[in-house]
Structure 1
Amino acid sequence: MAAGSFFTGLGYLGEGFRLIRQPGLRLFVIIPLVINVLLFGLLFVLLADLFAAMIATAMGWLPDWAWLQSLDWLFWILYGVVILLMLAYGFVIIANLIGSPFYGYLSELTEKHLTGQEVSVGGGWGQILKDIPRALWREVQKILYYLPRAVGLLILGFIPVINLMAAALWFLFNCWMMSLQYVDYPADNHRVSFPALRRSLQKNRPAALGFGLPVALAAMVPVLNLVVVPAAVCGATAFWVRDAGRNQQPE
């Protein structure tokens, strides 16, 4: 199998955005998107209420000086920045946990759209419900792969001199994880194990990092990160069909 190039990988997210507009795919984009928007709004409101209580407590500790009491607006600005950053980095994980059964089926439909061939004999809502336990377990596997490596990079960030490289390593790791995260959906549809998927992407690392780079950047942009998830699923499926999944055998 000839490995794809970094620049080939870069183009798959753009293709994913084109694919999610296809009539046959829109329903399985809209449903998890609505769920994610509701979840995003709920989390934001809950965090806002919590932060409002913290601000009220902190302001109660300050002396009763008008200029100090008027600083609550500054706390709210800081809150907005911090919360947006937290949601930008953490939302993709939550969205994938909730939407994983839908995204698996979206990947199936995308592959059928691209190749004209059925991925599996089953389908529809019954198959989505049946696949929920397996889809959730795949998400857990990805989290278990991610956490120890993220902790290791976090520790490197506290070591002088080495921490200068930690930011670049962290970003490269995020690009790699985005590729693993989304190419896993078509791989799972073909019953390719998570370890086998990792080996396949390692052989195709330039294209995998090329695909993961724009996904990682888009995931950092609030609101855009709501739409990038289904687009990344479709783009990853195209990547699987043309590069990563060629000659793969189920395990």
Structure 2
Amino acid sequence: MLKGNFVRGLGYLGEGFGLIRQPGLRLFVVIPLIINVLLFGLLFYFMAELFTGLIAAAMSWLPDWAWLQSLDWLFWLLYGVVILLMLAYGFVIVANLIGSPFYGYLSELTEKHLTGQEVNTDDGWAQIIRDIPRALWREVQKILYYVPRALGLLIIGLIPVVNLVAAVLWFGFNSWMMALQYVDFPADNHRVSFPDLRRSLAASRLSALGFGLPVALAAMVPVLNLIVVPAAVCGATAFWVRENQSS
């Protein structure tokens, strides 16, 4: 039986958007945001041709059955959604890999703000530099967890008829991955291992999916996906504080 509160989970991203406007947190939102703008510009440049190529390759796998050909518009739509989800999470992976030291520190400041502690950034840059190796290793662990499962879903998406459920599976998987991706920042600050984090989120899976779903949707929207990353970090920290209190 799935545990947690899906509706409560949905509210954390909105709380995150409110938190990124707090004076003590803004600096560590703006710098990664600039990085994201530059990164998104490069990805957008290559996205159009990649999208067209992947769609054409997927359609070429379909057998020449009349009833399937009449549904080609549906397959274009489904494959388009799947590829957009892949590109959205691909953007998140690269953005977090580059900005992870900033986001770990942003999460720490957010938790202090939420728990009523003094938000002091005097040693911010020194701490960010110290945390770079550990932050990068955490991102690598998430990529290693994501890739084989994403490949499995991609293969399912290439099987005629079975691929009709691929978009639904991708939405569920991406929602789970977004929760893992961002709640990992406060978890890492508390030295919770990645396997332990997965077990912790699984214990309140509905809350995790509720948080991850709007993040996954926002990551697919150009421009909005630039600011959703720091908002998701702050929202995930609120998730960490509130869900740990309620468990």
Indicate conservation of the 8 Å contact 1:187/1:245, yes or no.
no
Percentage of identical aligned residues: 80
Indicate conservation of the 8 Å contact 2:111/2:237, yes or no.
yes
Runs of at least 4 residues of structure 1 off by over 3 A? Answer: 42-45, 84-89, 244-247
User: What residue number does 2:73 align with?
Assistant: none
User: What residue number does 1:58 align with?
Assistant: none
The CA deviation at 1:162 is: 2.3
User: What residue number does 2:17 align with?
Assistant: 17
SS in 2 for 1:159: coil
User: What residue number does 1:157 align with?
Assistant: 157
List aligned pairs for 1:203-222, cutoff 5 A.
Answer: 203-222=203-222
Aligned residue type for 1:35: I
1:157 and 1:179 map into 2 onto residues whose CA distance is 23
User: What residue number does 2:65 align with?
Assistant: none
User: What residue number does 1:130 align with?
Assistant: 130
List aligned pairs for 1:52-71, cutoff 5 A.
Answer: none
User: What residue number does 2:192 align with?
Assistant: 192
SS in 1 for 2:221: coil
The CA deviation at 1:36 is: 1.4
- Residue 216 and residue 201 in structure 1: after superposition, are their counterparts in 2 closer, same or farther (change >3 A)? same
Q: Deviations over 1:130-170 (max 9, x none)?
A: 10010000000000000000011111112233222221111
SS in 2 for 1:221: coil
Aligned residue type for 1:9: G
Indicate conservation of the 8 Å contact 1:88/1:222, yes or no.
no
User: What residue number does 1:238 align with?
Assistant: 238
Indicate conservation of the 8 Å contact 1:179/1:208, yes or no.
yes
2:216 and 2:13 map into 1 onto residues whose CA distance is 11
Work out whether 1:30 is the aligned partner of 2:1: no
1:163 and 1:39 map into 2 onto residues whose CA distance is 31
The CA deviation at 1:194 is: 0.2
- Give the alignment's TM-score, normalised by structure 1: 0.78
1:24 and 1:12 map into 2 onto residues whose CA distance is 19
1:98 and 1:239 map into 2 onto residues whose CA distance is 23
The CA deviation at 1:221 is: 0.1
Work out whether 1:110 is the aligned partner of 2:115: no
2:142 and 2:244 map into 1 onto residues whose CA distance is 18
1:7 and 1:170 map into 2 onto residues whose CA distance is 20
SS in 2 for 1:23: coil
**Which structure would you say has the larger Rg?**
1
- Give the alignment's TM-score, normalised by structure 2: 0.79
1:91 and 1:156 map into 2 onto residues whose CA distance is 22
